Structure formats: C-alpha cells, structure tokens
Amino acid sequence: MKKPLALALFSIGLTHLVCAQQPEKQAGIAVRPVTLEYSLKSLQTGTQKVSITNALNEKKQFVVYVSDWRRDTTGAHVYTEPGKDPRSCAAWIQLSKNFFELNPGETEELIITMNHPADSTRDKQMSWCMLFIETIQEKMITDTIGVTTTITNKFRVGVHVYQNPPGELKKEIKLLSFSQLDTAHRSYRITCQNEGETQLQCASYLEIVSIESGKKIKIEPKEFPLFPEQIRYIDFEMPTQLPVGKYMITAIIDAGLDLALEAAQLQIEIH
C-alpha cells in the first residue's frame, strides 16, 4: 500500500537554465558500542557498558566526559556546555570513572548509569547528549639542535547517548519549503523540520517529469537523521542535460512507514 502524499505546489519560470561517528581505524582506539539507547520513565535508572581498547603501541591516559550537542541545518554536529540544552540528559549521567590508563592491547569497561529525574514533561519527549572518550597523553620531542617541545597527541571518540521514554512518542515531519538556489548550477533546496518528539530517520529525493512527454527522472535519495525541533536543508543538483521544455519537479520527504510522505512541487520551463 502506498503512503499518502501531502503536496504543496509552487510555480517558477526559468530562462537559460544551465545544466551520517565511527572511530577511525588509524586512531588505534576501539570503542564499542558508539550508540547507547535508554528507555526510562521518571525516577527509573538504567546502566550500559562501553568498552575501550588501546590498539596503539604505547600507554595512553584517557578522560571521559559528557557534552550537549545538536545538528545544524547541514547535519553537522554543534557541541555546547553539558546540561544547558533543554533536551539534554547530560546531568542524568553517572560514570564509573572519569579517568583511566591503558597499556597497549588493554581494554577498559566503563559503566554508564542514567538516572531519570521526576519530570513528567521529559517523560513525553526524547533527550540526548554525547559521551566523549579522549586521550590526554603528552610527549616531549627534542629536535636536532636540542630544542625540546611538548606536544599533545589527542584522539577523541564520541558515543551518542539517546533517551526515549517507553510508549508512543509524537512523530511528525513538515516540508517547509522547496526553492531554487542557483539557476546557473541547477541547485534546489528542500527545507524540512521535525515537529515531533523523537528522532526520525529520513530520506529525501526529487522526481522530474517532462510535462510534454511524461518522461520521469528520479534523483537518488539522500538519507539523514532528524532530531526533534531540528530544521534541515537538503540540496540537490539537477541533471546536466535536460532538453528544452516544461517540467514538474517534485520534492519528497520520507520519514518512515508511520508517517505520510511530505512533498512540494516546482513547475519550470527550460528555453
């Protein structure tokens, strides 16, 4: 069964239109898992484990800490002080240790405990933070003329921490606009927003249909996660050789089986 489609129509006349942290292997630090998912109600407690292995050939010291973060309109991570964001669960986190040392080949197991406070509002929405495991070891290097320099070799791995209360959370996505960015480069932008209370896994794509011939071209989808309240831009480039004629471009956002497709259209004419 096809999902229902919510559609908005825009019209535009164009002339001369011209054609998702995994730790890196080279870092030598293995962290598993890289995502922790809790499902707690008010006053409940949950614990999970994270294993850190030093695969380097030297002893390393580690610090562990939490940070708030969000994704910006391009999907990039933006980090802020822990506990300040209204969606943060950083203050709920207790670590079994904040500092440890590992010799080559050794593994440390961290216990991450989340204590959900008595907060009925937070029982109805997703919360999140980031757990960082970072090296702090310093080295003294002396060059050929006897000058000694202290350098810090830092490796950092982020573990995503998500808290979704049990039960059904509101899911809703809205396609806010579909617009032309740059005629010369055939660029178009979809703007959407998560208006629900949990993270959505989304896919966005374009369909181009010739009004004269009915020929259809589908631009490959782009997949991305979307936090509650987050606004996201998804940019597309048109095919380089479209014949002269009129076209209908349909922008589509698919946020999963639970939600109707969101769509908008632009009608263009290439002379």
Residues 4-63: tens digit of each pLDDT? 555 554 444 333 333 234 444 454 789 999 999 999 999 999 999 999 999 988 899 999
**What is the dihedral angle through the alpha carbons of 84, 87, 91, 93, rounded to the nearest 10 degrees?**
-140
Gyration radius (Cα) of the chain, Å: 24
Opening angle at CA 111, ends 106 and 115, nearest 5 = 165
Residue 248, strand partner residues: 209, 267
Buried b (16+ CB within 10 A) or exposed e, 219-244: beeeebebbbebebebebebeeebee
pLDDT of residue 82: 96
Mean pLDDT of 60-84: 96
pLDDT of residue 17: 30
What is the domain partition of the chain in residue ranges?
5-20+169-270, 33-163
Mean pLDDT of 70-83: 96
The superfamily CATH assigns to domain 33-163 is Immunoglobulins (2.60.40.10)
Helix count (H) and strand count (E) of the chain? Answer: 0, 20
**pLDDT over threshold 80, residue 117:** yes
Identify the residue with better confidence: 142 or 17: 142
Domains 5-20+169-270 and 33-163 equal at CATH topology level: yes
Q: How confident is the model at residue 271 (pLDDT cuts 50, 70, 90)?
A: confident
Q: How confident is the model at residue 179 (pLDDT cuts 50, 70, 90)?
A: very high
Residue 23 CB partners (closer than 8 Å, separation 6+): 29, 30, 31, 34, 157
Q: Does domain 5-20+169-270 have CATH number 2.40.10.120?
A: no
Q: How confident is the model at residue 244 (pLDDT cuts 50, 70, 90)?
A: confident
**pLDDT over threshold 70, residue 181:** yes
> What pTM was computed for the model?
0.82
Weakest-pLDDT range from 117-121, 133-137, 141-145: 141-145
Q: Name the residue with tokens 């240790």.
A: 97
